[in-house]
Each structure stands twice: as C-alpha cells, then as structure tokens.
Structure 1
Amino acid sequence: MSFLLYINTMSLVLLTLMGALFYHFLRWQVVYAYYLFLAYLQDSKLRNRQTAYSYDAFVSYNFHDEPWVLEKLLPELEDHQGRRLCLHHRDFQPGKPIVENIADAIYGSRKTICVISRRYLESEWCSREIQVASFRLFDEQKDVLILVFLEEIPAQMLSPYHSLRRILKRRSYLSWPRAREHTEIFWQKLRVALDSTDGPADQNHVLNI
C-alpha cells in the first residue's frame, strides 16, 4: 500500500514538473501554432467567399512607439489620405481573445503595416503579429505587407529574427530616419505601397529612401 502511494505521489510530482517545464519553454510555440491555425481558418474563409476588407491596413506596433503612430502615421493616413486603419487600442473587439483579434485584423485588412523598432523586436506579441502577417504573405503570395523602420537597426540585431530576415531578403522597406526633412517623399512612397494592387509578393517595390 505504501509503495503504491509512493508511486502515485512520484507520478504526480513528475507530471507537475513536466507541465511546468512545458509551459515555461513551449508556451509561445503553442500560441504560435494557435495563431497559424486561426490564420489558416481566416484564409480558407476568405478564399471561399469574397468578403470586402474592413480596413485599408492593420498597424502592428509596440506601445512604446504609439506616439509616432498617433501623432505622425494616423493623421497622415486617415486625415490626409482618407484611409481606414485598424489599431489595437481602438478597433479590437472587447472580450474576444487577443489572438483572434490579431488574426481578424490582419485578414480583415488589405495590408499590414509593421512599425519596426528595437522595442518591437523585443515584444513577444509583436513577434506573433509579424509571423501571422508573414504566413499570410507567403501563403497568399500577394503584396500585403509593408515594413516601416522607425530607427536604424544593425544587421546583427536582426539575425535572431528569422521571419523578418527572410522578408527583408525579398522586399524593400521604408525608413523613417532616412526621410529626415524630406518626409513628403516618405509619405508618398507609403501611399504608393498602400495603393499597390495585390500583385505577387516577390515583386520588390522600391521603397527605400
């Protein structure tokens, strides 16, 4: 009896330890797999019925970069260009799981604008957003992703981010620091990127300034 109790206790302890290790090391892999599953469902749904997009672009950004988004990007695109953007704090549906909100936002928008900074690269949620956007890009093979760098980031800092490096090998991007006083060129190129048709994803538009 004591031996059976010992075995049961040890089994429970081992299961608890294994569960804790699984949660600690693999929880983001599980979340990522869930993201891809939602993306697959969204992609299949849109293939089966031609639904009009709700937004011109979903803006993926870290909350530390929100001042630039609200003070620069939003006035230019919504007020001056008449675009309709999807933003986390304003347009996500309350009560819906965030992973579903993100998938709905990416697949419910014609484009996804990723506002890249060092803070963005450090954020787990931003990483998931660009991964789902990348999944859509490579799956649909359409020009649906726009990269905007808010700061110069050395190549060695990008080396751990495989999805982003893969995208940069095939696509151009916009750089806010390089725009400097010629911001009108920056906004013009962003306008062209937003207006581009859903052509092949590997059609590399000249965005760098």
Structure 2
Amino acid sequence: MTRHKYNVLKGIKPSSTYKYDAFISYANDETDFIVNEVIPNLERDDNMTLCVHQRDFIAGEEITQNITDGIHQSKRTICTLTRSFLDSYYFMFEFNMVRMESIYSRDGQNILFLIFYEQLRPKDLPLVILELVHSQSYIEYPNDEQENVLFWDKIKKALA
C-alpha cells in the first residue's frame, strides 16, 4: 500500500509552466516606478511576462482572489519595499500568500524577491521581513543610471 501511494505521488509533477514570470507586489505610490522602469526593463527588453494588479487583475473579482491567483500563476513574486508599501493594507496579505504558496505549493522553494526601492531602517521593518532580509538575498534600487544597468541584470538573472 505504501509503495502504491509513493508511486502515485511520485508521478505527480509540480507545474513548471506559469502564466507569469513574476507577480509584482507594490503600493499605488510606486505605480510610476512600475510603469516607467519595471515593465519596460523586464517585459519589453527581456520578454518576461509580469502580473501587475492595475493591468492584469480581473475586474469584478475580489481583490484577495486576484492576488491569490496572480501569485499562484507566477513563477516568482517581487515585493517593492517602501514605507507606503509597508503601511498598505494588502502588504501583509500578499506577503503571507507568497509564504503559503512557497510552503504548500512549491515545496519550500524561495519564490520571493525583495527590492528596496527606498532606504528603510531595520527598525521600520516588520520582524518577518527583517528575518527574511537576514536569511535571503535582496537588492536595493540604486537610482543611478550606470548602476541601474547592473541592477536590472541582477533581477533578470534572479527571475530566470
């Protein structure tokens, strides 16, 4: 019986095809950054497909369902950390949904990528984010033309 159950579970493969390369989690205050920097650098220049709530969420659907679907259909999730994002209502919801997706659907695989779009002090970060920063990689947005090229290259490699 155990052997049969093992063989059945062994035959189930995790989905390696996703509708999106990345779900972009951000506050509305960072819309200009997403529209003018993220989308052109990742979608237009590198042919990635991003899930951006203002463009890809289904009208009339509950926002929580749209968020959950976007995360589930994306290979990775990029959180753009700013003060306004940390203060937003949906920040912790999105963060927790990514963690649940990682644990229950992706066998603990790290699917969260953090971008610090503005300088944040450690004391301003929730404990769960601070723990994540200490245990995993993150990247800071340089806001400098020459360093931006390296910044986008690093993000493209992380999403590949």
TM-score tier, shorter chain, comes to: 0.7 to 0.9
Higher helix share: 1
Aligned to 2:115: 148
Higher strand share: 2
Q: Is the Cα contact below 8 Å between 1:116 and 1:150 reproduced in 2?
A: yes
1:178, distance to aligned residue in structure 2 (A): 6.9
> d(CA) in 1 for partners of 2:13 and 2:62?
24
* Counterpart secondary structure, 1:177: coil
Q: Is the Cα contact below 8 Å between 2:142 and 2:148 reproduced in 1?
A: no
1:128, distance to aligned residue in structure 2 (A): 1.1
Q: Is the Cα contact below 8 Å between 1:57 and 1:85 reproduced in 2?
A: yes
Report the AA paired with residue 84 of structure 1. T
Report the AA paired with residue 50 of structure 1. S
Q: Mind listing any 5+ residue stretches in structure 2 that lack a counterpart?
A: 1-11
Name the % identity: 29
Q: Is the Cα contact below 8 Å between 1:54 and 1:109 reproduced in 2?
A: yes
Q: Mind listing any 5+ residue stretches in structure 1 that lack a counterpart?
A: 1-46, 196-209
CA, structure 1 residues 51+175, in 2 after alignment: closer, same or farther (shift >3 Å)?
closer
> d(CA) in 1 for partners of 2:66 and 2:56?
9
Runs of 4+ in 1 over 6 A off after TM superposition: none
1:92 aligns with 2:57: yes
Q: CA RMSD in A?
A: 1.9
1:134, distance to aligned residue in structure 2 (A): 2.2
CA, structure 1 residues 134+49, in 2 after alignment: closer, same or farther (shift >3 Å)?
closer
> d(CA) in 1 for partners of 2:97 and 2:14?
21
Aligned to 2:28: 63
Aligned to 1:193: 158
Report the AA paired with residue 63 of structure 2. I
TM-score normalized by structure 1? Answer: 0.65
Number of residue pairs the alignment of both structures matches: 147
Report the AA paired with residue 85 of structure 1. L
Higher relative contact order (CA 8 A, sep 6+): 2
> d(CA) in 1 for partners of 2:150 and 2:40?
16
Rg bigger for which structure?
1
Aligned to 2:91: 126
Aligned to 1:75: 40
Deviates more, 1:138-147 or 1:61-70: 138-147
1:52 aligns with 2:17: yes
